[in-house]
Amino acid sequence: MSDIREITVPDIGDFENVDVIEVLVGPGDRVQAEDPLITLESDKATMDIPSPMSGQITQVMISVGEQVSQGTVVATLEAAIPADVQADLQTPATAPAPTTPAPSQAQDPRPAAQRPAPPATLPPPVERSGDALPHASPAIRRFAREVGADLSQVRGSGAHGRILHEDVREFIKAALARETTGAETTTGIPAMPEVDFSRWGPTKTQPLSRIQRLSGRYLHRAWLNVPHVTHHDEADITELETFRQSLKQDAAQSGVRITLLAFLMKAVASALKAFPNFNASLASDGENLILKQYFHIGVAVDTENGLVVPVVRDVQSKGIIELAQALGEVSERAREGKLKPDEMQGGCMSISSLGGIGGTAFTPIVNAPEVAILGVTRSRMTPIWNGTEFQPRLMLPLDLSYDHRVVDGAQAARFSAFLATALKDARRLLL
């Protein structure tokens, strides 16, 4: 005989419309009293809804992602009827006693529910559909947010696959190990295949320098996270170069070498004042901008071990000769490998100059969490039409890469035009 019962959500306090984050049983499953059937998660707690009796699940009425309250039907269950009651119901009162012993109450004629043995290794992440939430408590979710772990990728080792604190820690450790070795990460980007280049000729292996290894991972992360756009422009620096040359003799007496970079730094600081969105960083929540009230400029320096970006602070309050001196000192320490950690932090915007090498244009990678970087290549004499005739002018290519989440194309064009105007007339740098 069968006794079909409805299992409803019991009194769960003041909670209503609570999310179902896990369904632990299916039709045909046998359960014992107090076995968990579903898991709910509110803003404050995670709770299991147990079965009030033993029996076999006949139908599950809800699914992951739905919301339930007290009284919501979870499932129907065919209750297990004790064996002695079944015997009493099936045997007539006048019938002789059976010759074979009746099974004891402790013996259930139905097969006993089998508990699966714990797996030798953790199961793969559970495939979830829609907005289903991973099986974890609010405290674990908060911890995962703090350390940047995607819980949908974490394998839970707790009961019914529940994610524990240690699971999140192990996930982060494994992710860091993959980043260190260059293996495929949780971004889903496949790793490059390994190739045996010696099949086509002799080879030798040369390890990357420490700076190359560190900067490589940093640039890769920046390229994946920042939507890059590059705006190309050029500035007429004919008069600026004449002025720079006139300062060389005076500066040489002080042991200072004045390069175009000092003027570029001053121009960038002026542009950051005029366009505060460029002197900003995107907050970690992605909803706010952190506007900076200081003007520190990073300058990429080419060293034997790779590029480093020391930062010159308070550029807006320094003169050209003072900037040239500060730049010379920090560049020398960079090439000698003597930069302190704080000398490479706190930049508002960076400049990457290839003018001493060559090129006509390139796309510099934004030095996140900054939102823009200025690249310059070698200046060249170009015939420019002045309305009546062509005149030879020294033109400097400008390559402005920016984070499109913060800066749009029109802002980038205005910023670049401001730079070009400031560089064309060096007197504007004094304003």
What are the distances in angstroms from CA 31 to CA 114, 115, 160, 194, 272?
9, 10, 14, 50, 67
> Quick one: tokens of 288?
């706010």
Which residues, listed in sequence order, are joined to residue 18 by a DSSP beta bridge? 68
Beta-carbon contacts of 56 under 8 Å, excluding residues fewer than 6 positions away, are 28, 29, 30, 31, 77, 78, 80, 110
Which residues, listed in sequence order, are joined to residue 298 by a DSSP beta bridge? 311, 350
Residue 247 CA to residue 291 CA, distance in Å, equals: 35
Judge whether 232 counts as a catalytic residue: no
- Asked whether 380 and 392 are in contact (CB, 8 A), the reply is no
DSSP code of residue 163: B
337-369 b/e with 16+ CB inside 10 Å = b? eebeeebeeebbbbbbbbbeeeeeeeebbbbbb
Closest CA to 21 of 144, 129, 180: 129
E strand or H helix at 373: strand 372-376
Residue with tokens 């720079």: 244
Residue 301 CA to residue 352 CA, distance in Å, equals: 8
SS3 415: helix
Q: Which of 165, 228, 232, 404 is catalytic?
A: 404
Question: Largest Cα–Cα distance of the chain, in whole Å?
Answer: 127
Which residues are identified as catalytic? 404
